[in-house]
Amino acid sequence: MLEIEHLTRRFGGLVAVDDVSTVIEQGRINAIIGPNGAGKTTFFNLINGTFAPTSGRIRFRGQEIGGLRVDEIARLGIARTFQTTTLFNHASVLDNLIVGHRLRTQSTLWDVLAHTARLRNDERICREKARDALDFVGLSPIANRLAGDISQEERKRVAFALALSTEPSLVLLDEPAGGLNPEETEGLSELIRKFVQHGLTVCLVEHKMNMIMKLADKIMVLNYGKKIAEGAPAAIRVNPAVIDAYLGSEHAEV
């Protein structure tokens, strides 16, 4: 689904992503782990167009996407969530989804405003899509609550719904379980499995090792921007280089 070849991104003298080649496999849960600062979020930022690669290639379903704009990549079918979920706290959950969808698919604020003014018919379709996304993540009962009044776990689910609202085929999830208790983490894992059951491909960055080991089909390990290992969870768990760089340290949460 996504082929990454020799992907590199420098920030001044720092090589945040260093010559990484990998494949994100269709219909699977592809996980990325590694210590803080390893380049995981930057890897996502390159795939979704937040940053252009310094060098290397990113092919999505055969098409080169490295250097395209965020909205262009969103419309091709790649969505993402962020480590922190920023919502409009004084708007309803449903309205957050409607606005969020436009912010993801329009290239400028002018487009967002023009679009919002223009469309009465679109408005209805947009609302239906937003409701479908909320239904999928189990948040229909709180669609009309203010986003500022919902729980941390519900915010995470809103972030998932926002990602789904652009009808992606690939979803990048950046530490979705951060700050959640084990029970909430299990609920979110269930939801991630549901993504795959519905034909989506998932790429997941997460620190919670129990969750990753149970959920991932494949794990890539980054350290100082470099890929140091890749394989099935059982193999990664006992890989000496991985234990040395990550699993043996305090970085990995259980």
- Residues that bind ligand ADP in the complex, under the rule CB under 6 A: 11, 14, 16, 34, 36-42
| Residue 14 touches which of Mg ion, ligand ADP, none (Cβ within 5-8 Å per kind) | ligand ADP
CA 46 to chain centre: 12
- 3-state SS assignment for residue 66: coil
Cβ of residue 44: shortest distance to ligand ADP, in angstroms?
8
Per the DSSP assignment, residues forming a β-bridge with 172 are: 80, 203
Measured distance CA(21)–CA(65) in Å, rounded = 15
Q: Cα separations (Å) of 66 from 43, 74, 127? A: 12, 13, 32
Cβ of residue 51: shortest distance to ligand ADP, in angstroms?
7
Binding to Mg ion in span 100-119, by CB under 5 A: none
Measured distance CA(252)–CA(35) in Å, rounded = 8
- 3-state SS assignment for residue 159: helix
Nearer to ligand ADP, 38 or 202 (CB): 38
Nearer to ligand ADP, 37 or 138 (CB): 37
Nearer to Mg ion, 41 or 106 (CB): 41
**41 near Mg ion, judged by CB under 5 A:** yes
Number of residue whose CB is nearest Mg ion:
41
| Residue 197 touches which of Mg ion, ligand ADP, none (Cβ within 5-8 Å per kind) | none
Nearest of 29, 159, 166 to residue 82 by alpha carbon: 159
